[in-house]
Amino acid sequence: QVQLVESGGGLVQPGGSLRLSCAASGRTFSTYTMGWFRQAPGKERDFVAIISRIGISTTYADSVKGRFTISRDNAKNMVYLQMNSLKPEDTAVYYCAANRLYKIGTDYDYWGQGTQVTVSS
């Protein structure tokens, strides 16, 4: 069992930056692929970025490539999403998720409660 708690969301102006954090419980954190996903109002939950168990591999959605960076600290059971050059279309609830397999789909094993990111002037 893995419990995930996101933080760091908020209101930011277009072009600004935010860093999301996700704290994970349990002693098996390093055995999970970690991912960030987002869901805008009226839309399906979408993949944003994933990182492999020891952080060697990362994959990003085309819409965030070059602007967002996913990272993890296995010693602290943390995963991060640095978001730069934010756009209004990045507005969504952002979720942290954990899965045994490295994959892009949204059928992950464990999910956090989400944190709201709003990009607006």
pLDDT in tens, the chain (121 residues): 899 999 999 999 999 999 999 999 987 999 999 999 999 999 999 999 999 999 999 999 999 999 999 999 999 999 999 999 999 999 999 999 999 999 988 899 999 999 999 999 9
| Residues pairing with 38 in the sheet | 46, 94
119 CB neighbour count, 10 Å cutoff: 19
Rounded Cα distance, 111 and 70, in Å: 17
- Coil, strand, or helix at residue 81? strand
Rounded Cα distance, 58 and 71, in Å: 9
Alpha carbon 21 to its chain's center: 8
| Residues pairing with 73 in the sheet | 78
Rounded Cα distance, 89 and 83, in Å: 13
Q: Where are the alpha helices (DSSP H) in 6-82?
A: none
How much is the CA Rg of the chain, to the nearest whole Å?
Answer: 13
